[in-house]
Amino acid sequence: MKKVYIKEDVCIGCGLCEVYCRLKHSRSKDLVKAYKKETPRPLSRLRVDESGIVSLSVRCQHCDDAPCIGACLTGALSRDPSTSLVIVDEERCIGCGTCTLVCPLGIPKLDTAQKKMVKCDLCQDEEIPVCVANCPNEALLYAEVEEALT
């Protein structure tokens, strides 16, 4: 399974990962429009948490023992058998936020306009996630874990 790892010691907190993530999830795919004009406002699936000199680019880790799946009130969250990713069925999600409350990283984000939860899917339609591709400091690593180990 593929994962994004963070090298926090080289992350300078520039926030470009967040910018590109939001752009990726905008309809216009235009930076200015995505930030200023689009409604509903496109949301970044990742978050940069900062404190002092520490910056952490945090996204869904697709946990092995994902507590969000068991907590989901509607059955909208599940593990995709082919990619092993934790995915959300937008049709069934009601955006209640129960998954946000049980996630150790507080990741699931509520799109209040659409009344849905949104979360990182590692950019399934891209070669590599846009955050990783556009980090100027190579602070994000994309690695295929099990395959490399076996």
Q: Which H helix or E strand runs over 86? A: strand 86-88
How far apart, in whole angstroms, are the C-alpha atoms of residue 71 and residue 75?
9
Element at 22 (helix H, strand E):
helix 16-24
CB of 15 within 8 A of CB of 48? yes
Could you tell me the smallest distance in angstroms from the CB atom of residue 140 to ligand SF4? 16
Contact pattern for other proteins over residues 64 through 103, marking x by CB under 8 A: ------xx-xxx---------------xx-xxxxx-xxxx
The DSSP bridge pattern shows strands 2-6 and 77-79 to be: unpaired
Rule CB under 6 A: which residues touch ligand SF4? 60-63, 66-68, 72-74, 76-77, 86, 88, 93-99, 103, 105, 107-108, 117, 119
Residue ranges that bind other proteins, judged by CB under 8 A: 3, 5-8, 29-33, 47, 49-52, 54-56, 58, 61, 70-71, 73-75, 91-92, 94-98, 100-110, 112, 115, 127-128, 132-136, 138, 140-145, 148-149
